[in-house]
Amino acid sequence: LGIGSIAGPAFAAPTGLTPNTLEEITNYNNYYEFGTGKEDPAENAHSLVTSPWSVEINGLVDRPGTYALEDILKGKDIEERIYRLRCVEAWSMVIPWNGFQLSALLDQVGVQSGAKYVAFETAFRPDEMVGVSRPVLDWPYREGLRLDEAMNPLTLMATGLYGKDLPAQNGAPLRLVVPWKYGFKSIKSIVRITLQEDQPFTSWKDANHREYGFYSNVNPTVDHPRWSQATERVIGAGLFGSRRETDMFNGYGDEVASMYSDLDLQKNY
């Protein structure tokens, strides 16, 4: 379903990004449900049953319910978006996603006027996920966005990469991609979406609120308490010369900075 019908222009800023190889993208993952090592998800995620798949969409929506993946994909334009993914661990790679705008799905279910935030939840399946037996995080993995962030044209629901179905280790069959935020905001293997008035519970903020905020916008001027965010290692650049300066909002400032004009980004990291 990743390839479906790839339509529309590649919508991506900054432009001219050279994607990492499929090998790199699928063998260097943070998906702690399958282990904390970067190569653990590639090794263990095959056990995740991704078909059939359904997503419960509830809360402040006109048409709540459990949606089969096929019904979610029906009528959606699957586009290619080449985005840089900047991890909070200060590395980055470039990924050619296939997917549709989250706004299209939210329009489909009808967001009610009281909704201010969107909460997301990853599948929690102890029988299929070897990593969840360890209390690394308070499972299931949860993330959230402000409604305007969720509706931003850059915000993608990815169903594939490189024109193929999303590999399990990359969050199959349906994951979020929010390119101006640290990678952990881009929640994988989504089973629940809730529109709500209050700021959602987010797993990493719960684990350590000093280190991981709700917003988690890529910001070279706000360091992680344990490491600098001013630069990032470029995955795939080889042994030497593999570091670049981190861009504000990961280079997507033109599209997203206006959403934060009233927000102190030093406090709301």
Partner 1 sequence: MALSLPLLPGVVADPVNRTLRKVPAWPLYILGAVPPVILFWAGVTGRLGVDPVKDMEHQMGEWGLWLLIAGLCVTPLRRYAGISLLKYRRALGLLAFFYILGHLLIWLVLDVQILSQIWADIVKRPYITVGMGAFVLMIPLAVTSNNRSIRRLGKTWRQLHKLVYATALLGSLHFILLVKGFQIEPYIYMGAILALLALRLPLTGKRRSLRTA
Q: Which of 72, 106, 108, 100 is nearest to 158 (CA)?
A: 100
Q: CB under 8 A: which stretch of 9-17, 35-43, 54-62, 175-183 binds partner 1?
A: 35-43
| 20-22-23-24 Cα dihedral, nearest 10 degrees | 30
Residue 18 in contact with partner 1, rule: CB under 8 A = no
Q: Count CB-CB contacts under 10 A for residue 41.
A: 29
Residue 24 in contact with partner 1, rule: CB under 8 A = yes
Residue 221 in contact with partner 1, rule: CB under 8 A = no
Which of 239, 261, 264, 266: binder of partner 1 (CB under 8 A)? 239
Judge contact between 80 and 96, C-beta under 8 A.
yes
Judge contact between 219 and 269, C-beta under 8 A.
yes
Judge contact between 169 and 26, C-beta under 8 A.
yes
Which of 31, 32, 67, 269: binder of partner 1 (CB under 8 A)? 32
State the DSSP H helix or E strand holding residue 73, giving kind and residue range, or none if neither: helix 69-73
Q: CB under 8 A: which stretch of 66-74, 95-103, 173-181, 241-249 binds partner 1?
A: 241-249
Q: Which of 53, 157, 54, 15 is nearest to 98 (CA)?
A: 157
Which of 4, 11, 22, 27: binder of partner 1 (CB under 8 A)? 27
Site for partner 1 in 108-167 (CB under 8 A): 134-137
Residue 235 in contact with partner 1, rule: CB under 8 A = yes
Q: CB under 8 A: which stretch of 72-80, 168-176, 232-240, 256-264 binds partner 1?
A: 232-240
What does the alpha-carbon distance between residue 66 and residue 42 come to, in Å, rounded to a whole number?
A: 29
Judge contact between 132 and 35, C-beta under 8 A.
no
Which of 125, 233, 248, 257: binder of partner 1 (CB under 8 A)? 233
Residue 206 in contact with partner 1, rule: CB under 8 A = no
Residues lying near partner 1 in the complex (CB under 8 A): 23-24, 27-28, 32, 36, 38-39, 89, 91, 134-137, 207, 223, 226-228, 230-231, 233, 235-236, 238-243
